[in-house]
Amino acid sequence: MHDTPLIGPYSPDDVLALEPDGSRTARQFVSDVVRLAESLPNRLTVINLATSRYEFLVGFAAAILRRQLTLLPQSRAVQTLRRIAGDYPESYALTDRDDAIDGIESVAMQQRQGLAPWPNEIPLVPLNQVVAIAFTSGSTGQPMPNKKTWGALTAVAHATGSRLGIKSGDRASVVATVPHQHMFGLEASVMLPIMHGLVMHAGRPLFPADILSALADVEGRRILVTTPLHLRACMTEGVRMPPVGLILSATAPLSQGLAQEAERHFHTEVHEIFGFAEAGSVAERQTTAGDSWRPLDGVRLQSSERGWTVETDYLPAPVLVPDRITVDAQGLFVVHGREADQINVAGHRVSLGDLNQKLLEVEGVQDGVFFLPEEGSDFVTRLMAFVVAPGKTSEEIQRALRTHIDPVFLPRPLVCVPSLPRNATGKLPQESVRELARQWLAGLGHGT
């Protein structure tokens, strides 16, 4: 197993990142990393909570040089961070200045002055070095840890760039709405740009006006790394955006209708990444071209007694695909939803993901989710739905749903709410939906 450089094809004075106060060159980055690495405490693991994408990358790279594993929490909630710190007692938190986490040893990122000399050789990292632990989102159960090697992260970055036609040294700029602590965010908004010599926008714009501002900040070809939730918000508010060279979406299924609207609005192509924390990014498609996914170069799908598995040179063992898929003779595949997503109502089977997609296709619905309460609990036993649809009534949404789904799956009740408790990546953790249902059924919700 050989070593590879920490960053890709940058010259010393090439811009690597764009911060609010100005640009950061490759020379500045290497200097910042080396200086931070010298000051880090001697620990096994670090929880990197830096909000700036550039500062996160500096901390991530410094930890790699110190052979420390970076823990990537699925949430910044204090209870989540404390649980992770309890599971990994030899850890500390790397935070923004004046942002210590109560109950966890915290080290603040300090402003670094001056420049170290450009090294004769960029720091090298062994491909088999485990550099991060990513946690599943918890949308279908308890979050689980997954180790990531430098070889896996770099291979995904190169394969994704190759599929999207990104060439080494292309001075495109990457703007991302997804958090860098998320697996897709790490792969697409951090590893993808630094492996291909791109410019990384350090911010994380959330609202359409913020996305517009971030895109206007950068020069050259723009690549927007985002989610269906953020795309839908841009379409709803109708903010006029500057030209975008490419949109890359993940974290949730993207409907062809929304993808078509986004392509018209941004004057670009919308591509999706299919992946999961256990294996990372696995396949890509242009959403408007059809339902089929094409595995990234080097990724193989194999059938087994347990189901379909992902095999690559950088994974130590085959990884089971958590979704139901069908694979054709060319190796392309179609996703039919998570195995854990399948429900049975009155002898009829359906995917909650399919129902959610039908709900989102109803005119006026901005967000929504179906929920099946647990049998034997104090919940009602029929499907429920929580919907964000300003100006719509639950009866109007029910009438529209009747034309698209089997009557047995119509939600009773359908509750209109101002918003859903999505996390930073746009996912809805199962426990959050369960708590929303619990509150509504206890008379604490606000429904119609």
Domain boundary among 336, 360, 382: 336
In this prediction, what percent of the chain has a pLDDT beyond 70? Answer: 92
Q: Label the pairing between strands 199-201 and 333-338.
A: unpaired
User: Residue 47 domain-assigned?
Assistant: yes
Q: Give the model confidence (pLDDT) of 225-251 as tens digits.
A: 999 889 988 988 888 888 899 999 998
Q: Do 326 and 355 fall into the same domain? A: no
Instruction: Check whether 61 has a pLDDT greater than 90.
Output: yes
**What CATH number did the domain enclosing 299 receive?**
3.40.50.12780
Domain boundary among 336, 371, 399: 336
Domain housing 350: 346-441
User: Residue 446 domain-assigned?
Assistant: no
**What CATH number did the domain enclosing 417 receive?**
3.30.300.30
79-93, 99-113, 371-385, 426-440: segment of lowest average pLDDT: 371-385
Count of other CB atoms within 10 angstroms of residue 269: 18
| pLDDT score at 447 | 44
Q: Give the model confidence (pLDDT) of 76-104 as tens digits.
A: 778 888 888 889 998 999 998 777 777 88
Model's pTM, two decimal places?
Answer: 0.84
| pLDDT score at 375 | 56
Q: How confident is the model at residue 441 (pLDDT cuts 50, 70, 90)?
A: confident
- Cβ-count burial of 290 within 10 angstroms (0-12 exposed, 13-18 middle, 19+ buried)? exposed
User: How far are the Cα atoms of 296, 312, 319 from residue 280, in angstroms, in the given order?
Assistant: 11, 11, 10
Q: Do 350 and 295 fall into the same domain? A: no
Residue by residue, DSSP assigns 140-186 as TSS--EEEEEHHHHHHHHHHHHHHTTPPTT---EEEE-S-TTSHHHI
User: Residue 403 domain-assigned?
Assistant: yes
Average pLDDT rounded to a whole number, residues 302-327: 92
Domain boundary among 315, 336, 357: 336
User: Residue 235 domain-assigned?
Assistant: yes
Number of domains the chain contains:
2
Residue closest to 198 by CA, chosen among 227, 164, 223: 223
Q: Do 375 and 325 fall into the same domain? A: no
Q: How confident is the model at residue 169 (pLDDT cuts 50, 70, 90)?
A: low
Q: Give the model confidence (pLDDT) of 412-424 as tens digits.
A: 889 999 999 887 7
What is d(CA 252, CA 372) in angstroms, rounded to the nearest whole number?
Answer: 19
Q: With contact defined as beta carbons under 8 Å apart, do 56 and 180 qualify?
A: yes
Q: Do 92 and 136 fall into the same domain? A: yes
